[in-house]
Structure 1
Amino acid sequence: MPALQRTLLREDASVVGLASSDPEDLALSATATASSTLTELAAEALLERVPLTADAGLVLPVDPELTGLELLVDAERDTELVVELYDPELGQNYVPRRLVASVTVPVAAGPKQWVGTGLRWSPGSARNAFVRVRANEDLALYSTDGPAPGVLGFTHVPLRPEQESPQPLREWTDDGLLRRAFCFRAGGTAAYAPARAVDGYARPYAGPHMWVSEPLRDGVGAWLELAWPQPVTLGRIDVLADDDVNEDLINLHHHRTPFETLPTLLRDYRVEAREADGTWRTVSRSTDNRRRRQVHTLDEPVTSTALRIVVEATNGAPSAHVVAVRAYA
Structure 2
Amino acid sequence: MELIKSDVTVIGGGIAGICAAIAAARNGLKVTLINDRPVLGGNASSEVRVHINGSAYHGISPSYYAREGGLVEELKLKIFHYNPLYNKKIMASVSDSVLLDMVYGEPAISLFLNTSVYETGMENGRIGWVDGLQLASERRLRFESPYFIDCSGDGVVGYQAGALYKRGREAKAEFDEDLAPDTADHYTMGDTILFQTRDVGYKVPFRRPEFAYDITKLDFFDSIRRGLNYRAIPRKINGIGGLWWLEFGGHLDVVRDNEDITLELRKLVYGIWDYIKNSGEFDDVDNVILDYVSPIAGKRESRRFVGDYMLSQKDLTEKPYFPDAVAVGGWAMDLHAARGIYDEGPATAWNFVPGLYNIPFRSLYSANVPNLMMAGRNISATHVAFGSTRVMATCGCMGQAAGTAAALCVQYGVNPSALAANHAPELQAALLRDGQTISGRREEPDPYFAEGLTVRASSQRAYSNAVGAEAVSLDKSLCLVLPVHTEHVESVSVRVRNQGAAAETLFVQLFGGDRKETYIPGSRLRSSSVDIAAGFDGWITLPLDCSKPADDKLYIVLEGTEQLAVYCNDDQLTGAVSFQYQPEVPAKLKKWSRNICFKDLLPAQNMYEPANVVNGYSRPYGLPHVWVSERTEGQEWLELAWASPRNVEELHLVLNPRLDLEHFNDPIETLIKDYDVILSLADGSQQRIEVRGNYLSLNKHPVGMQGITGIRFEFTATYGSPYYEVFAVKLYN
TM-score, normalized by the shorter chain, greater than 0.5: yes
Partner of 2:543, secondary structure, is coil
Among 641, 657, 671, the alignment partner of 1:265 is 671
Unaligned runs of 5+ in 1: 160-166, 251-255
Counterpart position of 1:311: 715
Distance 1:158 1:124, change over 3 A: closer
Amino acid at match of 2:506: L
SS in 2 for 1:264: coil
Per the alignment, do residues 118 and 175 of structure 1 end up closer, same or farther by CA in structure 2, a change over 3 Å counting? same
Q: Which has the larger radius of gyration?
A: 2
CA distance in 2, matches of 1:51, 1:124: 28
For the pair 1:32 / 2:455, whether they are aligned, the reply is yes
1:287–1:66: structure 2 CA closer, same or farther, 3 Å change rule?
farther
Match of 2:497 in 1: 74
How far apart are residue 81 of structure 1 and its match? 1.2
The correspondence for 1:41, drawn from 452, 460, 463, is: 463
Q: Offset at 1:214?
A: 1.0
What are the within-5 Å matches in structure 2 for residues 86-125 of structure 1?
86-123=511-548
- 1:310 Cα deviation (Å)? 1.6
Structure 1 window deviating more from structure 2 (131-140 vs 262-271): it is 131-140
Deviation of the 1:268 alpha carbon = 0.8
Contact 2:479/2:555 (<8 A) preserved: yes
* CA separation of 1:138 and 1:157: change in aligned 2, threshold 3 A: same
Q: In 2, are the aligned partners of 1:103 and 1:119 still within 8 Å (CA)?
A: no
**Higher strand fraction: Structure 1 or Structure 2?**
1
Instruction: Give the letter for the 1:233 counterpart.
Output: N
Displacement of 1:150? 0.8
Go from structure 1 to structure 2 and tell me whether the alpha carbon gap of 1:273 and 1:126 turns closer, same or farther (over 3 Å shift).
farther
- Per the TM alignment, residue 54 of structure 1 is displaced from its structure 2 partner at its CA by 1.3
C-alpha contact 1:72 1:112 (8 A) present in aligned 2: yes
Question: Contact between 1:154 and 1:173, CA under 8 Å: does it hold in 2?
Answer: yes
User: Which of 668, 690, 699 is 1:285 aligned to?
Assistant: 690
- Select the residue among 602, 607, 621 that pairs with 1:205: 621
DSSP-derived class of the 1:68 partner: strand
Q: How far apart are 1:297 and its partner, in Å?
A: 1.0
Q: Distance in 2 between matches of 1:227 and 1:238?
A: 16
**Matched ranges for 1:161-310 at <5 A:** 169-170=586-587, 172-177=588-593, 180-187=594-601, 188-218=604-634, 221-247=635-661, 249-250=662-663, 257=665, 260-276=666-682, 281-298=686-703, 300-310=704-714
Larger RCO, structure (CA 8 Å, separation 6 or more) = 1
2:479 maps to which of 42, 57, 63 = 57
Checking the alignment, whether the CA contact within 8 Å between 2:513 and 2:550 is kept in structure 1 is no
Q: Deviations over 1:12-48 (max 9, x none)?
A: 101111111164883687332212111x322122333
Q: Distance in 2 between matches of 1:51 and 1:15?
A: 39
Normalising to structure 1: TM-score of the pair? 0.85
Percent identity between matched residues is 29
Q: CA deviation at 1:121?
A: 3.8
Query: What SS does the aligned partner of 1:205 have?
Result: coil
1:45–1:145 contact (8 Å) kept in structure 2: no
CA distance in 2, matches of 1:131, 1:276: 51
Partners of 1:10 and 1:112 lie apart in 2 by 50
- How many residue pairs match? The answer is 305
SS for the counterpart of 2:544 is coil
Partner amino acid, structure 2, of 1:90 = R
Q: Distance in 1 between matches of 2:474 and 2:444?
A: 45
Give the C-alpha shift of residue 181 in structure 1. 0.5
Q: What secondary structure, in the 3-state scheme, does the structure 2 residue paired with 1:91 have? A: coil
Structure 1 stretch 83-92 or stretch 125-134: which is displaced more?
125-134
Q: Show CA shifts across 1:35-90 (max 9, x none).
A: 2111x322122333311111101111212254421111111231221112221122
Contact 1:83 1:131 in 2 (8 A): yes
C-alpha contact (below 8 Å) 1:88/1:98 kept by paired residues? yes
Q: Report the TM-score when normalising by structure 2.
A: 0.39
**Equivalent-residue separation in structure 2 for 1:83 and 1:156 (angstroms):** 12
8 Å CA contact 1:73, 1:113 repeated in 2:
yes
Match of 2:173 in 1: none
> What are the superposed Cα offsets for residues 235-279 of structure 1, whole Å, 9 maximum, x if unpaired?
2110000011112x23xxxxx64xx21111111111112233667
Distance 1:112 1:277 in 2: 60
Instruction: Determine if contact 1:240/1:293 at 8 Å carries over to the other structure.
Output: yes
| Distance in 2, Cα, partners of 1:16 & 1:78 | 46
Per the alignment, residue 555 of structure 2 pairs with 130
CA deviation digits over 1:170-192, x for unaligned, max 9? Answer: 2x433342xx3112214332111
Which residue matches 1:146?
A: 571
Alpha-carbon distance between aligned partners in 2 of 1:201 and 1:89, rounded to the nearest angstrom:
19
